[in-house]
Amino acid sequence: MDYFLFVIILIGGVAVQCLTGFGFGVFVSCFLPLLLPMHISVAVLALLSIVINGQILWNLRSHVHLRAVLPTVAACLIGQSIGISFLFSADELILKRGMGCVLLFLAAFFAFIKGRLHLKPSLPNSICIGIFAGLLNTFNIAGPLIAAYYYFACDSNETYTANLQATFLLTSIYNLLLHMLYGNLTPTVIGFSALGVIVLIPAVWIGRHFTKNMQKKTVGTLIYSFVAFMGLLQIITASH
Protein backbone atom coordinates (compact mmCIF):
# COMPACT_ATOMS: atom_id res chain seq x y z
CA MET A 1 0.00 0.00 0.00
CA ASP A 2 2.84 2.41 0.80
CA TYR A 3 4.37 1.88 -2.63
CA PHE A 4 1.00 2.39 -4.34
CA LEU A 5 0.42 5.69 -2.50
CA PHE A 6 3.99 6.67 -3.30
CA VAL A 7 3.31 6.24 -7.02
CA ILE A 8 0.09 8.29 -6.80
CA ILE A 9 1.93 11.10 -5.03
CA LEU A 10 4.64 11.12 -7.70
CA ILE A 11 2.10 11.29 -10.53
CA GLY A 12 0.42 14.24 -8.84
CA GLY A 13 3.80 15.93 -8.42
CA VAL A 14 4.66 15.44 -12.08
CA ALA A 15 1.32 16.95 -13.14
CA VAL A 16 1.95 20.05 -11.02
CA GLN A 17 5.58 20.28 -12.19
CA CYS A 18 4.60 20.25 -15.85
CA LEU A 19 1.91 22.88 -15.27
CA THR A 20 3.89 25.33 -13.13
CA GLY A 21 7.53 24.40 -13.83
CA PHE A 22 8.40 24.01 -10.15
CA GLY A 23 5.69 22.16 -8.23
CA PHE A 24 7.07 18.63 -7.99
CA GLY A 25 9.15 19.18 -4.86
CA VAL A 26 6.52 21.19 -2.99
CA PHE A 27 3.72 18.77 -3.81
CA VAL A 28 5.62 15.60 -2.96
CA SER A 29 7.21 17.06 0.18
CA CYS A 30 3.72 17.81 1.50
CA PHE A 31 2.46 14.23 1.17
CA LEU A 32 5.51 11.99 1.33
CA PRO A 33 6.13 12.56 5.07
CA LEU A 34 2.76 10.87 5.65
CA LEU A 35 4.42 7.65 4.44
CA LEU A 36 8.06 8.11 5.46
CA PRO A 37 10.06 10.02 8.11
CA MET A 38 10.92 13.57 7.10
CA HIS A 39 14.66 13.01 6.63
CA ILE A 40 14.02 9.96 4.40
CA SER A 41 11.35 11.81 2.42
CA VAL A 42 13.68 14.71 1.70
CA ALA A 43 16.49 12.39 0.59
CA VAL A 44 14.19 10.48 -1.78
CA LEU A 45 12.87 13.74 -3.18
CA ALA A 46 16.38 15.11 -3.69
CA LEU A 47 17.30 12.10 -5.81
CA LEU A 48 14.06 12.11 -7.79
CA SER A 49 14.34 15.85 -8.41
CA ILE A 50 17.57 15.21 -10.29
CA VAL A 51 15.70 12.83 -12.59
CA ILE A 52 12.69 15.03 -13.29
CA ASN A 53 14.61 18.29 -13.62
CA GLY A 54 17.25 16.75 -15.85
CA GLN A 55 14.63 15.18 -18.09
CA ILE A 56 12.75 18.45 -18.59
CA LEU A 57 15.93 20.51 -18.92
CA TRP A 58 17.28 18.31 -21.70
CA ASN A 59 14.45 19.36 -24.00
CA LEU A 60 14.93 23.07 -23.20
CA ARG A 61 18.72 23.24 -22.76
CA SER A 62 19.18 25.79 -25.56
CA HIS A 63 16.99 28.30 -23.68
CA VAL A 64 19.07 28.39 -20.47
CA HIS A 65 20.63 31.76 -19.59
CA LEU A 66 23.66 30.85 -17.47
CA ARG A 67 24.33 34.47 -16.55
CA ALA A 68 21.08 34.50 -14.57
CA VAL A 69 21.29 30.92 -13.32
CA LEU A 70 24.84 30.58 -11.97
CA PRO A 71 24.78 33.39 -9.35
CA THR A 72 21.41 32.15 -8.10
CA VAL A 73 22.69 28.59 -7.83
CA ALA A 74 25.87 29.67 -6.02
CA ALA A 75 23.82 31.57 -3.42
CA CYS A 76 21.42 28.62 -3.10
CA LEU A 77 24.29 26.31 -2.21
CA ILE A 78 25.26 28.60 0.66
CA GLY A 79 21.70 28.57 1.99
CA GLN A 80 21.43 24.80 1.66
CA SER A 81 24.69 24.28 3.55
CA ILE A 82 23.32 26.32 6.44
CA GLY A 83 19.84 24.80 6.44
CA ILE A 84 20.61 21.08 6.14
CA SER A 85 21.57 20.78 9.82
CA PHE A 86 18.05 21.82 10.88
CA LEU A 87 16.56 18.87 9.04
CA PHE A 88 18.19 16.42 11.44
CA SER A 89 17.66 18.41 14.64
CA ALA A 90 14.34 20.32 14.55
CA ASP A 91 10.92 18.92 15.48
CA GLU A 92 8.92 17.70 12.46
CA LEU A 93 5.70 19.40 13.57
CA ILE A 94 7.41 22.77 13.80
CA LEU A 95 9.06 22.28 10.43
CA LYS A 96 5.80 21.42 8.67
CA ARG A 97 3.87 24.33 10.17
CA GLY A 98 6.70 26.69 9.35
CA MET A 99 6.78 25.40 5.78
CA GLY A 100 3.07 26.06 5.37
CA CYS A 101 3.33 29.61 6.73
CA VAL A 102 6.22 30.43 4.39
CA LEU A 103 4.27 29.14 1.37
CA LEU A 104 1.23 31.27 2.28
CA PHE A 105 3.44 34.33 2.71
CA LEU A 106 5.10 33.79 -0.65
CA ALA A 107 1.77 33.31 -2.43
CA ALA A 108 0.23 36.43 -0.90
CA PHE A 109 3.31 38.58 -1.49
CA PHE A 110 3.88 37.69 -5.13
CA ALA A 111 0.17 37.80 -5.96
CA PHE A 112 0.01 41.34 -4.55
CA ILE A 113 2.95 42.65 -6.56
CA LYS A 114 1.89 40.88 -9.76
CA GLY A 115 2.13 43.36 -12.63
CA ARG A 116 3.72 46.04 -10.40
CA LEU A 117 7.26 44.82 -9.85
CA HIS A 118 9.75 43.32 -12.27
CA LEU A 119 12.82 41.67 -10.72
CA LYS A 120 15.69 42.00 -13.14
CA PRO A 121 18.31 39.22 -13.25
CA SER A 122 20.90 41.28 -11.38
CA LEU A 123 23.65 39.98 -9.12
CA PRO A 124 22.18 41.45 -5.89
CA ASN A 125 18.74 39.99 -6.67
CA SER A 126 20.25 36.61 -7.52
CA ILE A 127 22.22 36.48 -4.27
CA CYS A 128 19.30 37.52 -2.04
CA ILE A 129 16.82 35.19 -3.71
CA GLY A 130 19.37 32.38 -3.88
CA ILE A 131 20.36 32.35 -0.21
CA PHE A 132 16.78 32.39 1.06
CA ALA A 133 15.75 29.81 -1.53
CA GLY A 134 18.68 27.63 -0.46
CA LEU A 135 17.39 27.63 3.11
CA LEU A 136 13.96 26.62 1.86
CA ASN A 137 15.46 24.00 -0.42
CA THR A 138 16.55 22.05 2.63
CA PHE A 139 12.94 20.84 2.57
CA ASN A 140 12.52 21.04 -1.21
CA ILE A 141 10.26 24.11 -1.17
CA ALA A 142 12.56 26.60 -2.89
CA GLY A 143 10.49 26.35 -6.06
CA PRO A 144 7.93 29.11 -5.37
CA LEU A 145 10.53 31.76 -4.59
CA ILE A 146 12.83 30.95 -7.51
CA ALA A 147 9.84 30.55 -9.83
CA ALA A 148 8.55 33.99 -8.90
CA TYR A 149 12.01 35.50 -9.50
CA TYR A 150 12.46 33.88 -12.90
CA TYR A 151 8.86 34.68 -13.82
CA PHE A 152 9.68 38.40 -13.68
CA ALA A 153 13.23 38.06 -14.97
CA CYS A 154 12.62 35.83 -18.02
CA ASP A 155 11.08 37.05 -21.26
CA SER A 156 9.57 33.76 -22.46
CA ASN A 157 7.98 30.62 -21.05
CA GLU A 158 10.81 28.50 -22.50
CA THR A 159 13.53 30.56 -20.81
CA TYR A 160 11.56 30.61 -17.57
CA THR A 161 11.20 26.84 -17.50
CA ALA A 162 14.76 26.15 -18.67
CA ASN A 163 16.30 28.42 -16.02
CA LEU A 164 14.14 26.82 -13.35
CA GLN A 165 15.14 23.30 -14.28
CA ALA A 166 18.83 24.18 -14.54
CA THR A 167 18.73 25.78 -11.09
CA PHE A 168 16.84 22.88 -9.54
CA LEU A 169 19.07 20.28 -11.15
CA LEU A 170 22.28 21.80 -9.81
CA THR A 171 20.89 22.45 -6.34
CA SER A 172 19.36 18.97 -6.16
CA ILE A 173 22.71 17.38 -6.98
CA TYR A 174 24.31 19.37 -4.17
CA ASN A 175 21.42 18.49 -1.85
CA LEU A 176 21.98 14.80 -2.56
CA LEU A 177 25.69 15.17 -1.81
CA LEU A 178 24.83 16.71 1.55
CA HIS A 179 22.59 13.74 2.38
CA MET A 180 25.43 11.41 1.46
CA LEU A 181 27.73 13.25 3.85
CA TYR A 182 25.13 12.90 6.61
CA GLY A 183 24.82 9.17 5.89
CA ASN A 184 21.20 9.47 4.85
CA LEU A 185 21.27 7.34 1.69
CA THR A 186 19.79 4.23 3.33
CA PRO A 187 18.36 1.10 1.63
CA THR A 188 14.88 2.58 2.16
CA VAL A 189 15.88 5.75 0.32
CA ILE A 190 17.41 3.77 -2.54
CA GLY A 191 14.38 1.45 -2.84
CA PHE A 192 11.78 4.21 -3.04
CA SER A 193 14.01 6.24 -5.34
CA ALA A 194 14.42 3.35 -7.77
CA LEU A 195 10.66 2.91 -7.99
CA GLY A 196 10.28 6.65 -8.44
CA VAL A 197 12.67 6.74 -11.39
CA ILE A 198 10.66 4.03 -13.15
CA VAL A 199 7.48 6.09 -12.67
CA LEU A 200 8.93 9.51 -13.49
CA ILE A 201 10.53 8.86 -16.87
CA PRO A 202 7.29 8.12 -18.78
CA ALA A 203 5.17 10.43 -16.58
CA VAL A 204 7.30 13.50 -17.32
CA TRP A 205 7.25 12.83 -21.06
CA ILE A 206 3.46 12.54 -21.07
CA GLY A 207 3.04 15.63 -18.88
CA ARG A 208 5.29 17.79 -21.05
CA HIS A 209 3.42 16.70 -24.17
CA PHE A 210 0.09 17.95 -22.82
CA THR A 211 1.33 21.22 -21.28
CA LYS A 212 3.96 22.46 -23.74
CA ASN A 213 1.64 25.07 -25.33
CA MET A 214 0.58 26.80 -22.11
CA GLN A 215 1.03 30.56 -21.99
CA LYS A 216 3.29 32.36 -19.51
CA LYS A 217 0.36 34.32 -18.05
CA THR A 218 -1.45 31.08 -17.27
CA VAL A 219 1.69 29.70 -15.65
CA GLY A 220 1.95 32.78 -13.42
CA THR A 221 -1.62 32.41 -12.19
CA LEU A 222 -1.02 28.74 -11.43
CA ILE A 223 2.04 29.64 -9.37
CA TYR A 224 0.12 31.83 -6.94
CA SER A 225 -2.85 29.48 -6.66
CA PHE A 226 -0.75 26.38 -6.17
CA VAL A 227 1.56 27.90 -3.55
CA ALA A 228 -1.39 29.16 -1.48
CA PHE A 229 -3.16 25.81 -1.67
CA MET A 230 -0.09 23.84 -0.64
CA GLY A 231 0.62 26.23 2.23
CA LEU A 232 -2.85 25.74 3.67
CA LEU A 233 -2.63 21.99 3.16
CA GLN A 234 0.71 21.82 4.93
CA ILE A 235 -0.61 23.69 7.98
CA ILE A 236 -3.75 21.53 8.13
CA THR A 237 -1.91 18.21 7.84
CA ALA A 238 0.64 19.31 10.46
CA SER A 239 -2.17 20.01 12.93
CA HIS A 240 -3.50 16.44 12.90
User: What's the pLDDT at 212?
Assistant: 61
pLDDT tens-digit profile of 44-77? 988 998 988 888 888 888 899 888 889 999 999 9
Instruction: State the Cα–Cα distance between residues 236 and 97, nearest whole angstrom.
Output: 8
pLDDT tens-digit profile of 156-176? 888 888 898 899 899 989 988
User: What's the pLDDT at 125?
Assistant: 84
- Which pTM value belongs to this model? 0.77
Residue-wise burial string across 29-45, b where 16 or more C-beta atoms lie within 10 A, e elsewhere: bbbbbebbebbbbbbbb
CB of 79 within 8 A of CB of 212?
Answer: no
pLDDT tens-digit profile of 100-152? 787 787 777 667 765 565 667 678 888 888 998 888 877 777 777 788 788 77
